[in-house]
Structure 1
Amino acid sequence: MVRLSLPCSFLKILGKGKEMRTWNKDMPTAVKIVEVGPRDGLQNEPVNLPTEVKIDFINKLSETGLRAIEVTSFVSPKWIPQMADNTKVYTGILKKDNISYPVLVPNVVGLESALKAGVKEIAVFASASESFSRKNTNCSAQEGIDRIKKIVDVAKKHNLKIRGYISCVVGCPYDGFIKPLAVTKAVNALLELGCYEISLGDTIGVGTKKTIYNMIQDILNTTEPKNLAIHCHDTYGQALTNICTALELGVSVIDSSVSGLGGCPYAKGATGNVATEDLVYMLHGLEVNTGVDLKKLIAVGNFISTAINRPTASKVNAALYSRYFS
C-alpha cells in the first residue's frame, strides 16, 4: 500500500471554512440560480412535450431549492410552437411564495397575454449584435430597445418586475467578435428603462475567460455587479470557466438549464445552456451556497431527459444518477 504525504499547503486547500476562503476570497459566498430549462431549454428542443409533462417538470424543479424558474414564453406559436401552451403551463403550475416564475415576452401583444395569465415577472431581450438582432427579431438593435420600452411602459403600470437579456455579449454567428462597449451600451439602456437585472448571454458559447472578463469589466465602469447575471452556453466547453470569471468579478446570479437543455436556432452548432447539475456541483465544491439539493436536481434532470428521449447533457447527472437512484 502506497501512502501519499501531502504538503500542508495542499491540505489547507482541501479544507473547509476560513482556510477554504483564503483561495476563494473573490467568489460570492452565495449565488442565485435562475433555471431557464422550461423556457430557453425546451423552446430550442425539437420535441414538443405535452402540457402536463411541462407542468410536472416545473413542479419538480420547484422542489429542488431553486428560487427562480423561467416558465415559458408568450410568443406567437407560429415562431415557437413549443411554447404554444404558455397560458396553460403558467396557470397550471403550483407556485411557491419563495420562488419567482418569470416569463419571456417579445412584444406588447405577448405581454397582454401574460397579464391575462396573471404573471408577476417578465423578461425582455435585446442584442449586442446588429446582425443577430435583425435575424432574431427582424429589427435593428436600437429598434429592439425601442420595442422593449413599449413593453416596459405597460409592465410598469401593472407593477411587474422586469428582467433583461442581452444576446451575443462576446460573439455573434454573423458579426463575429462583439466589442465590450456595445454590450455596455445595451446594459445601460435596459437599466435606464427599468430592468432590475441584466442577464449577459454568450448565446453561441464562444466566450473565453479573457473575453468574458473584458466584457464584464467594461460594464462595471458604469454599473454594479448586483445588476448583472451571466448566461453561458457550453458549445466549446468553456461555460463553467466563464461563469467563474463572472463570479470573481462579483456577479452572483447565474442562468442555467437542467440537463443542459436548449441551444440556439439562429446559431448553427450552438449547444445548450450550461447544465444546472454541473453548475451546482461546481459551486458546492467552491463552498458557494446555492440552496439547491443536488440529488433532487439530478432526479429532475433524468425526468426531463427521459421525456425528450435523449441522454442528459450534464456530466454530473451522468456520473451520479446511478449512484443515487440504482
Structure 2
Amino acid sequence: MSRALPQTEPASDLPPRVTIYEVGPRDGLQNESSSVPTPVKAEFVRRLVAAGLETVETTSFVSPRWVPQLADAAELLADLDEVGRGPLRPVLVPNERGLDRALEAGVGAVAIFGSATETFAQKNLGRSRAESVQMFAPVVRRAQEAGLWVRAYVSMCFGDPWEGPVPVDQVADACAELMDLGCDQLSVGDTIGTGTTGHVEALLAALDRRGVGVDRIGVHFHDTYGQALANTLTALRAGVTVVDASTGGLGGCPYAKSATGNLATEDLVWMLDGAGVESGVDLDALVETSAWMAQQLGKASPSRVVKALSGG
C-alpha cells in the first residue's frame, strides 16, 4: 500500500505561497530537560535545510545560566559554518551582550523577544515592558547598522497565565512599540495556546490600525488546546504569509509552565500541501528528520502527521 498523501484541492482564499519559519532548533530544544549534544543539533539544522526549510532559527545567545540547553550557541554556529549564517538563519539575542556574541559568530539575522504583559516581562526579562523596549532599542539599532535582518517576537499575545486575558489593544501597543524601533518582522505569539480564531482576527485588525500590516507579521501558535492549525488558517485567510512552526512539535516556554509544544511543522505542511499552497518543504524528508530527532531525544513526536506516517 502506498504512503498516504493529502489530496490537493487548491483553496482560493489562501496565499499561493507560505514561508515557514522553523523554530525547532531554538524554541524546541531549549525546552528539553537535558542538553542535546552540539553535533546532533548541527545535524538537525542541516537536515531541516535539506528538507526545504529555508528559514531556520538555529539557537539563542541568552545567558547559559538561564537556558543551559543552548549554552553551546557559538560552538554550534562554528560547526554549521556557512549553513548557520545569513539572513535566513536567525538567532535570538536577549540584550546587547547577546548581540555582541552573535556578531562575533558572524550571524546575518537576529530576533528579540518582548512581552505583551507586565508580569511576563518581569519574569522573562527582569524589567517592565517599557524598560524592555529601552533595552532593545540599541540592540535593534546596532543590528541594523551591522546590516542584519531583525525580527521582534512578542509573547503572551493571546493570554497570560498570571494576568489572564490580555486586551487586544494592549497587545497591539506592545507590538507596535517594538516595530517602531525598526524591526523587519513581527511574530505574534500565543505562548500558552489559548487563542481562538476570532481572537486572531481581532488582533490582526488591531495591528493593522497601528500600522503593522500582515506583510510584516508572522504568527506563532502553540497547540495546548488543539487550536494551532485553526488559528493559522485564520491568519492565512487574513493575508499573513509567515508561519512559525517546530519540527515534531517540539517546544514550549521555560517561563510559562502551562505552555506545551509549538505547531508541528509536519502538520502545517500537510495542510498547506492539501490546500495547494507552496512551502518548498519535502514532507517525506521532514518526517524522517522528526523521527530521527525523536530517537535522539528518546521520546515520541507529538505531531499527528509524524505519528501517522512513521508510527513514531
Change in CA separation of 1:15 and 1:282 when aligned onto 2, cut-off 3 Å: closer
Q: Tell me how far apart the structure 2 counterparts of residues 122 and 98 of structure 1 sit (CA, whole Å).
A: 10
Partner in structure 2 of residue 6 of structure 1: none
1:45–1:263: 8 Å Cα contact kept in structure 2?
no
Q: Which has the higher contact order (CA 8 A, sep 6+)?
A: 2
Match for 1:310: what amino acid?
K
The structural deviation recorded for 1:37 is 0.3
- 3-state SS of 1:38 partner: helix
The structural deviation recorded for 1:98 is 8.6
The structural deviation recorded for 1:25 is 2.6
Partner in structure 2 of residue 33 of structure 1: 20
Change in CA separation of 1:322 and 1:265 when aligned onto 2, cut-off 3 Å: closer
**Equivalent runs, 1:111-260 vs 2, <5 Å:** 111-221=99-209, 222-260=211-249
Moved more, 206-215 or 70-79: 206-215
2:8–2:273: 8 Å Cα contact kept in structure 1?
no
Q: Tell me how far apart the structure 2 counterparts of residues 116 and 49 of structure 1 sit (CA, whole Å).
A: 23
1:173–1:267: 8 Å Cα contact kept in structure 2?
yes
Change in CA separation of 1:139 and 1:112 when aligned onto 2, cut-off 3 Å: same
Q: Which one of the candidate residues 72, 80, 91 is aligned to 1:85?
A: 72
CA RMSD of aligned residues (A): 1.6
Partner in structure 1 of residue 31 of structure 2: 44
Q: Tell me how far apart the structure 2 counterparts of residues 45 and 192 of structure 1 sit (CA, whole Å).
A: 34
Change in CA separation of 1:98 and 1:195 when aligned onto 2, cut-off 3 Å: closer
- 3-state SS of 1:133 partner: helix
Change in CA separation of 1:98 and 1:136 when aligned onto 2, cut-off 3 Å: closer
C-alpha distance after superposition, 1:66-87 (max 9, x if no partner) = 1100000001101100011000
Match for 2:26: what amino acid?
R
Moved more, 311-320 or 266-275: 266-275
Match for 1:73: what amino acid?
S
Larger radius of gyration: 1
Moved more, 264-273 or 275-284: 264-273
TM-score (norm 2): 0.94
- 3-state SS of 1:150 partner: helix
Q: Tell me how far apart the structure 2 counterparts of residues 157 and 223 of structure 1 sit (CA, whole Å).
A: 22
Q: Which one of the candidate residues 294, 297, 305 is aligned to 2:286?
A: 297
Change in CA separation of 1:99 and 1:287 when aligned onto 2, cut-off 3 Å: farther
Q: Tell me how far apart the structure 2 counterparts of residues 304 and 99 of structure 1 sit (CA, whole Å).
A: 25
Partner in structure 2 of residue 109 of structure 1: 97
Aligned length: 304
C-alpha distance after superposition, 1:113-170 (max 9, x if no partner) = 1111101100001111111111111111111111110211221221111011000111
Moved more, 89-98 or 118-127: 89-98
Q: Tell me how far apart the structure 2 counterparts of residues 35 and 224 of structure 1 sit (CA, whole Å).
A: 22
1:67–1:98: 8 Å Cα contact kept in structure 2?
no
C-alpha distance after superposition, 1:67-114 (max 9, x if no partner) = 100000001101100011000111211535897110000000010011
Q: Tell me how far apart the structure 2 counterparts of residues 269 and 184 of structure 1 sit (CA, whole Å).
A: 23
The structural deviation recorded for 1:266 is 2.1
1:127–1:186: 8 Å Cα contact kept in structure 2?
yes
The structural deviation recorded for 1:185 is 1.1
Q: Which one of the candidate residues 48, 51, 60 is aligned to 1:61?
A: 48
Partner in structure 1 of residue 3 of structure 2: none
2:87–2:148: 8 Å Cα contact kept in structure 1?
no
1:31–1:254: 8 Å Cα contact kept in structure 2?
yes
1:26–1:250: 8 Å Cα contact kept in structure 2?
no
TM-score (norm 1): 0.90
Moved more, 274-283 or 89-98: 89-98
The structural deviation recorded for 1:187 is 2.1
- 3-state SS of 2:50 partner: coil
1:59–1:94: 8 Å Cα contact kept in structure 2?
no
